[in-house]
Amino acid sequence: MPPMRFLMRRRPAIWRTNYNTSMNRAVLAFLAIASLSGQTAQTPPPTPIVSPEVHPDHTVIFRLRAPHAVAVTLNLEGAKAAPMEKDDAGIWTYSTPMLEPDIYGYTFNIDGVGMMDPNNSMMKPNLLNNSSAVHIPGPGLPWEVRDIPHGEVHHHFYKSALVGDNRDYYVYTPPGYTSGNTKYPVLYLLHGYSDDASGWSAVGRANIILDNLIAEGTAKPMIIVMPLGYGAPEVLNRVRINTEKFRLNTTRFADVLLTEIIPQVEKEYRVDRRREMRAIAGLSMGGAESLYTGLNNLDKFAYIGSFSAGGLGEDYDAIFPKLDQSANKQIKLLWIACGTEDRLIDTNRKFRDMLSAKYVRFIPIETPGMHTWMVWRRNLAALAPLLFQ
């Protein structure tokens, strides 16, 4: 069984910076709540409130105690900001209409200051903007935990020689991995901008999705590698980063993946090393990285998928200098998806037009939805059964 490594004493530099920032925000949020409620160290805490409260009809009530706030809004993933109403006790409330079963991120905005729900322990981790989360269960959804065999998620740390920092990656091994000598195909699954390496397991629930698809017999058992996707971590600065820096982030990440992560994974796991057994896919920034890395290294990847790809640029001849009709001999699947309400839909359509002009075969996917995890979880559930067939 591959070793599980949890003993690194120091977080990667980008984690330490953002961890400290998150801690500062948490302190400020606590002070804001205490100030808004009029609470002092000498007075007993108020009666706890329930938030969020999920009802059987799939409506949800959100609550926040902030008696001195002037205006509070709920920012729910996939929806417009909704004003909340205050009662005589200083508790702000918002009741949603019926919501589709899913996992929704959300935050409160108190007089222009965003914050997480202090009454909810479920959250969406993010290097720049953490948020709370609410789960509305739905029978049959591919990310719901079922009573079936489950795989394992392993967490690895290493020092990147190319980037010069300490970083991590996660590896999902399917049910039955430890009981045999089978070599498995591998999907390299990339997160989006501002996510960390845990994005696809903590928020995307990739391991649960694959457990369910494998149990149904619709997807082949596979290993999934989920690395930290920053070749140039400085793109995480909140100041505007220029196109050149994002290009460096993409190209250097490809080098990290090819020369550091893949060799290490193939050393520690029973991976089928044939290109026909290797896939790469990702969302947003990770979608752009998947297209760049995959299409420029068809000797290493036979399956390529992008979900709402962004940040690639439109100088396609420079980005893909060797891409032409001959690529069809090597590509087993090129799958390009985007939500129709996504701000990146036009960019993705332009990319598809370029592929068509070069006679490169691909499968275009457009679904309802914005630039959210609700779209990307479904993208993974749709793509995985097509891999390694």
| The predicted structure's pLDDT at residue 297 | 98
Cβ neighbours for 274, distance < 8 A, ≥ 6 positions apart: none
Average of per-residue pLDDT values in the chain: 90
pTM of the full structure: 0.87
Tens digit of each residue's pLDDT (9 = 90 or more) over 252-297: 999 999 999 999 999 999 999 999 999 999 999 999 999 999 999 9
Percent of the chain with pLDDT over 90: 82
DSSP, collapsed to helix, strand or coil, labels residue 346 as: helix
DSSP per residue over 6-44, as a string? ---SS--HHHHHHHHHHHHHHHHHHHHHHHHHT--TTSP
**Number of DSSP helices (H) and strands (E) in the chain, helices first:** 8, 18
Tens digit of each residue's pLDDT (9 = 90 or more) over 357-378: 999 999 999 999 999 999 999 9
Tens digit of each residue's pLDDT (9 = 90 or more) over 45-79: 788 899 999 999 999 999 999 999 999 999 999 89
Burial 122-131 (b: 16+ CB within 10 A, else e): eebebbeebb
Count Cα neighbours of 247 within 13 Å in the Cβ-side half-sphere. Answer: 10
Residue closest to 372 by CA, chosen among 73, 122, 131, 44: 131
DSSP, collapsed to helix, strand or coil, labels residue 178 as: helix
Q: What angle do CA 187, 189, 194 make, to 5 degrees?
A: 170
CA distance 247 to 313: 8
Q: What angle do CA 131, 137, 139 make, to 5 degrees?
A: 150
